[in-house]
Amino acid sequence: GPVMDWGMYEVMYTERYMDTPAENPDGYTLTRNTDKTEALRDKLLVITGGMDDTVLPEHSYTFLKHCVDKGVQVDFFEYPGHGHNVRGKDRVHLYTKVLDYIDTALGLTE
């Protein structure tokens, strides 16, 4: 799933590029996607692995909660049993889902 709030992400990786939240509060605030839900104007598909230990599913859940609170509609799909990378036969499902979503958003399908 996507990183929605760098303050919730793995410290060693995040602070290497962004410094600490105390040292770079503006950077953390400006990149916090959960604060931008009201700005969504187009379709959005959020996909996460239910067992993702790289970007925890809580990132997506927190973002979705903000969307619900603000009345913003988004599409969400979770791959149970998958980590950060969907593998095996489910990967075909993932690619089909993404391509179908894009085709629909662009009006290429009925």
**58 within 8 A of 10, measured Cβ to Cβ:** no
Q: What percent of the chain has a predicted confidence (pLDDT) above 90?
A: 96
**53 within 8 A of 84, measured Cβ to Cβ:** yes
Q: Where are the domains of the chain?
A: 6-105
Is the domain defined by 6-105 classed in CATH 3.40.50.740?
A: no
Q: What's this model's pTM, rounded to 2 decimal places?
A: 0.88
Kindly compute the dihedral angle of the four CA atoms of residues 40, 77, 56, 6, in this order, to the nearest 10 degrees. -10
pLDDT of 15-35, one tens digit each?
999 999 999 999 999 999 998
**How far is the C-alpha of 71 from the C-alpha of 83, rounded, in Å?**
29
- Per-residue model confidence as pLDDT tens for the chain (110 residues): 999 999 999 999 999 999 999 999 999 999 999 989 999 999 999 999 999 999 999 999 999 999 999 999 999 999 999 999 999 999 999 999 999 999 999 999 86
Tokens of 6: 């760098």
For 49, the enclosing helix (H) or strand (E) is strand 45-49
**101 within 8 A of 74, measured Cβ to Cβ:** no
